[in-house]
Amino acid sequence: MSIMRKMRESPELRTVQDPDTPIYSIGTVARMLEISVFTLRMYEREGLVLPHKSASNQRRYSQNDIDRLKCIRQAITEKKFGIAAIKTIYSLIPCWSILPCFKEDREHCEAYANHAQPCWAYRHVNNICASRECRECRVYRDHSDCRKVKQSIMNISPAP
């Protein structure tokens, strides 16, 4: 029986209701996705995923993080996208429209001005996101599913 099937059938895991609850260790996620811990850390360094870190600095992943990682793996293995292409796609999510932010905030926002990486990978200074935790932000949290990323990009409206 595969580890994924065992985990799906586990009564303890079925009791978790919130898909944003970070419960899975990095080793467990690596086994679930059949990738290495090194690969997961690389995705984190590249700003593709923001695992929760415990007080002892241990990474914990939620179901939404796993969904995001599946989307990333699908883009790499099936679509043959590189990390830079995936970062560019995430950078196209219209964060200014989702939050929404004011024109003054956009003037001080690297994520609005650039398209090299997702908004959650930038250090925000002098804008609405400066005091926000990126992992908790709707832009990051609500775009773990590939279809949601596509839908957000399709619905881009020009900034007022």
- What are phi and psi for residue 53, nearest 5 degrees? -115, 130
Q: Return the higher-pLDDT residue of 61 and 160.
A: 61
Can you tell me the mean pLDDT for 135-143?
A: 90
* Token pair recorded at residue 101: 């932010």
Closest Cα partner for 109 from 46, 38, 159? 159
Using the predicted structure, report yes or no on whether residue 9 has a pLDDT greater than 60.
Answer: no
Residue 98 three-state SS: helix
Domain presence at residue 3: no
% of the chain at pLDDT higher than 70: 88
pLDDT of residue 158: 59
**pLDDT, tens digit, 9 for 90 and up, residues 12-41:** 554 457 898 999 999 999 999 999 999 999
The conformation of residue 40, written as its DSSP 8-state character, comes to H
CATH code (residue 149): 1.10.1660.10
CA 156 to chain centre: 19
Q: Which residues touch 124 (CB under 8 Å, ≥6 apart)?
A: 109, 110, 111, 130, 132
Domain count, the chain: 1
Domain presence at residue 5: no
Residue 135 lies in domain: 10-154
